[in-house]
Structures are given as structure tokens and as C-alpha cells.
Amino acid sequence: MSISDRPLTRDATEALERLGSLALRDHSMESVLQTVADLVKQVLPGEIEASISLLVNDKATTTVYTGKLALDLDESQYGRGHGPCLHAAATGELVEIHDARIEDRWPDYARAAWERGSGSSLSVPLPIQEQMAGALNIYAREVHGFGEEARSAAVRFAPYAAVAVSNMHAYESARHMAENLQVALESRAVIDQAKGILMERHKLTADQAFQAMAAVSMRRNRKVRDIAETLVRTGEFHPDGPLAG
């Protein structure tokens, strides 16, 4: 039986159900991930802290965390450029440090982790999409802090976090695109209004009217939209010279 197939405790099952019922439209990506981290801390046994690291274009950041220990140990790895959470995010491999006192893969980091109060840790990869990866990081204060139930729960939480990141990234990208489209449509509308005023006032073609605004825009180092809004709002327009008509 694989880790992900092992039965979960009732608390973990209920936590996953709660996570699966979140409505993305009501949350930011950070709030979804904070919920994941908080639920992991709530249902896993022992004294732990959790965080979620995102690796975007090889730059790592801690998006959410449940306590200062998790943030400090994440940032300790970022400063060194290596460590379990970075390895999990970059390779897609689950990484466990059983005993920080004798860890030999990242001995400098492990010493720092032990000195700061973490005896063991578990980093579960979050396969998200191209140019973005992540890890769910769980830090225990004692050595050998993760039994089979804890590993199973952590592995089952990770896909929910990965889906949340992917969905929220897509949702926020779409929302950003829609906002940009709305701005573009509004800009086009006011520019068309301003062109109409110049065409009527100076008997210009549509292209001549736009070129006149573009010339003023360049001379004043202002956006064409700003020039158009001023013209529509106040009627003022001061070209460099006579307009072609």
C-alpha cells in the first residue's frame, strides 16, 4: 500500500473535505494556501509548523506559514540556495529529514534547523505548471516527528494545495486579463470620442485626428488616453501647429 492509499484520520478527512469545498471566487490564492497550512497544522500530530513555498522562475518565496519557525527555516534555505523544501519543489520528490542532528545531505542547513528548534521535517512537492513549482513544508520540533499517518495526510493535502495554486493562478490571470481588456475598451472609447471631436471641429479624417493626439502625447510625454480624456472632458486641445484638414 502506497503512502497516499493509507486511510486518514477522521480529522484529516474532514479537513480535506473542507478544503475541497472552498469557493475560489471568495478567496485570494494566499487565503486558500493559508487555509491549507492551517489545516495541516491542525490535523497532523505533534508540535509542528507548516509553510508553503512557491518556486517561480527559480525564485523561491514563502507564500504562507503558520509560525515563525517555518518562515525562518524556509528563508534559511533560500539564503543558502539548497535544502529540503527547495529540493522537493525543484525535483518533485518527497523529502524527509528524520533527524536534523545527523542529516548529511544539507548539513549546514540541518545544523541551523536544529539550533532554531526543528528536529525533523517533511517537504511534499506541489506539481503545479511550467515555470512554477512548490512545496508543502512541515517542521516538527522533535526528531523522527512523522509517522505513517502523518506522511499519508501530508501527501494527501499536497494535491489540494497544488490544485488551489493552479486554479487561483489561472483565475487571477483571467481576472487580470479581463481587467486589462476593460481598461483597453474604455481607452478605445474615450479615444474614439476625442477623434470624433477633432474630426468635427477641424474637418479631419479619423487617422489625422489620431495622429494629432499622438503628436501631442509624444511632445508632452503623456498617454494618448490622457490627452483624449482632457479633450473630451474640457474641450481643450493644443496641437504643435495647424491641423491638416
Q: What is the pLDDT of residue 121?
A: 98
Q: What is the pLDDT of residue 242?
A: 64
Q: What is the pLDDT of residue 175?
A: 67
Q: What is the pLDDT of residue 6?
A: 43
Cα distances (Å, whole numbers) of residue 41 to 13, 153, 218: 14, 11, 56
Domains and CATH numbers, the chain: 3-175 (3.30.450.40), 176-234 (1.10.10.10)
Q: What is the pLDDT of residue 77?
A: 97
Q: Which residue stretches of the chain have pLDDT < 70?
A: 1-10, 12-13, 15-27, 129-130, 164, 167-181, 183-184, 240-245
Q: What is the pLDDT of residue 1?
A: 37
* pTM for the structure as a whole: 0.66
Question: pLDDT tens across 26-58, in order?
Answer: 667 788 889 889 989 988 888 999 999 988 878
**Terminal alpha carbon distance of the chain:** 82
- Specify whether the CB–CB gap between 204 and 243 falls below 8 A: yes
